[in-house]
């Protein structure tokens, strides 16, 4: 789909108006697309006149609404009919789907350290995204990837490290359903909990970089965050708001924004402490944190069990799960981190090898609340020698 739009727009570059034969041009290019995408191309011909606005809009001010268009139809989330545990015990990162209950590993990234001039270094993320057609993970060239709840759509940032274009990808066909050009480069994109909006954080320079001062010594620059975008994928409406970095006692260079658990607010990170997040409403004004967000993990996932009765504890061996009402310990687990609830009785966690002699020698596991049962989901590897990081997403 990207090729279809790009080549059509190239033909329009010298025209002041949308051509009268727009639909014919799009339909003539159907032969470029895989069989599974020809129906999409035919339907898209009618709506291309509206979609083309994305490639030419200009933004001004701190809160500008732009590009009302046809957008992308939000697919109905599938009902999870199986709670079978899926894993790849032989590989880390995994090659085959990893899932348990209502949670799946939708994507992951590895990190490559690149040396730059002046003793500077940067960390490049190399993303792999789940492919339902093969039940495996496919390496991508995107600068950032995030899968929507339900694993039907993915949002991708096109570019080298940062990008000024966001794509909405059909995970089943691997076709781009929409592309959204931006004035400012973004370094991350995140789906709202209901899978209808995108939140992208803008930077003036790539944030994951540092200067080497000596052995085991690094100097971190100031954060280069400049603002954020909120994008409604159904209407293609884009809003940008300037937001400088939060500097008070905050040494984080990457300061990506996130969603509240109900998706009504967004938050910006601060330093770790009593107030790790500052919440903003749709107008960018600071508001009180929602009550339930006290259970929001640093990965943006709720620590509350699906039935709302139990709470995942802090990182550290051993971990514990407590009763929400009484605070009583419901169980302890010999794992390093409790990551996400698979169901009311099991949790996806980070477990270390053998007796945890080396905490970096670890992998994903499924552990019961009482800690008596642990099932490996990936191989255990020394992540300090080749770090990989997972993205866990609800399957419905």
Tens-place pLDDT, residues 119-177: 999 999 999 999 999 999 999 999 999 999 999 999 999 999 999 999 999 999 999 99
Q: Measured between alpha carbons, how far is 67 from 55 in angstroms, rounded to an integer?
A: 10
pLDDT of 270 reads 85
Q: Residue 39 has what pLDDT?
A: 36
Cα separation, 145 vs 157, whole angstroms? 7
| pTM of the full structure | 0.80
Give the Å distances, CA to CA, from 124 to 141, 206, 297, 337. Answer: 11, 10, 24, 25
240, pLDDT greater than 60: yes
Q: Could you give the CA distance from residue 259 to residue 268 in angstroms, rounded to a whole number?
A: 9
Q: Cα–Cα–Cα angle for 171, 130, 190, nearest 5°?
A: 70
Find the mean pLDDT for residues 291-299.
Answer: 87
Residue 105: Cβ within 10 Å count: 27
Handedness of CA 352, 353, 356, 361 (dihedral sign): negative
DSSP-derived 3-state class of residue 105: strand
Provide φ and ψ at 176, rounded to 5°: -80, 120
Percent of the chain residues topping a pLDDT of 70: 77
Residue ranges of domains in the chain, CATH in brackets: 1-56 (no CATH), 57-394 (2.120.10)
Helices (H), the chain: 2-12, 22-28, 38-51
CB 105 within 8 A of CB 99: yes
pLDDT at 249: 66
Report phi then psi at 157, rounded to 5: -105, 120
46: region left, alpha or beta (phi > 0 left; psi from -120 to 50 alpha): alpha
Which is it for the CA torsion 281, 283, 286, 288, positive or negative? negative
- CA dist 34 → 1, 64, 170, 389 (Å): 10, 37, 13, 32
Residue 28 pLDDT more than 60? no
**pLDDT class for 299, splitting at 50, 70, 90?**
confident
pLDDT (mean) for 21-33:
33
- A 10 A CB-CB count for 179 gives 19
The lowest-confidence range among 24-28, 114-118, 321-325 is 24-28
Q: Residue 11: is its pLDDT beyond 60?
A: no
pLDDT surpasses 90 at 305: yes
């Amino acid at each position: 789909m990207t090729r279809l739009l790009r080549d059509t727009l190239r033909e329009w570059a010298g025209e002041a108006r949308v051509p009268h034969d727009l639909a014919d041009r799009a339909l003539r290019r159907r032969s470029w697309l895989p069989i599974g995408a020809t129906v999409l191309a035919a339907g898209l011909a009618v709506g291309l006149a509206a979609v083309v606005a994305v490639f030419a809009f200009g933004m001004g001010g701190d809160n500008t609404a732009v590009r009302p268009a046809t957008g992308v139809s939000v697919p109905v989330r599938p009902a999870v009919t199986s709670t079978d545990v899926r894993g790849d015990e032989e590989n880390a990162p995994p090659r085959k789907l990893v899932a348990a209950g209502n949670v799946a590993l939708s994507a992951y990234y590895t990190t490559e350290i690149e040396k730059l001039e002046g003793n500077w270094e940067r960390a490049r993320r190399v993303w792999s995204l789940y492919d339902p057609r093969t039940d495996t993970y496919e390496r991508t060239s995107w600068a950032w990837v995030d899968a929507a709840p339900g694993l039907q759509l993915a949002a991708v940032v096109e570019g080298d490290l940062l990008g000024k274009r966001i794509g909405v990808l059909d995970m089943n066909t691997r076709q781009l359903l929409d592309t959204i050009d931006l004035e400012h480069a973004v370094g991350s994109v995140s789906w709202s909990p209901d899978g209808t909006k995108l939140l992208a954080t803008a930077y003036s320079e790539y944030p994951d970089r540092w200067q080497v001062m000596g052995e085991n010594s690094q100097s971190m620059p100031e954060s280069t965050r400049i603002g954020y975008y909120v994008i409604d994928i159904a209407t293609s409406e884009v809003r940008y708001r300037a937001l400088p970095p939060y500097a008070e006692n905050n040494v984080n260079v990457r300061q990506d924004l996130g969603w509240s658990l109900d998706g009504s607010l967004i938050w910006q990170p601060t330093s770790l402490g009593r107030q790790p997040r500052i919440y903003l409403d749709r107008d960018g004004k600071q508001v009180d944190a929602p009550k339930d967000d006290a259970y929001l993990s640093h990965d943006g996932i709720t620590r509350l069990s699906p039935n709302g009765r139990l709470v995942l504890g802090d990182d550290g061996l051993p971990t514990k799960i407590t009763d929400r009402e009484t605070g009583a310990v419901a169980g302890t687990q010999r794992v390093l981190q409790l990551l996400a609830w698979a169901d009311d009785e099991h949790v996806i966690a980070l477990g270390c090898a053998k007796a945890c002699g080396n905490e970096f020698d670890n992998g994903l596991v499924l552990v019961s609340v009482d800690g008596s049962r642990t099932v490996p989901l990936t191989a255990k590897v020394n992540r300090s020698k080749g770090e990989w990081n997972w993205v866990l997403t609800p399957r419905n």
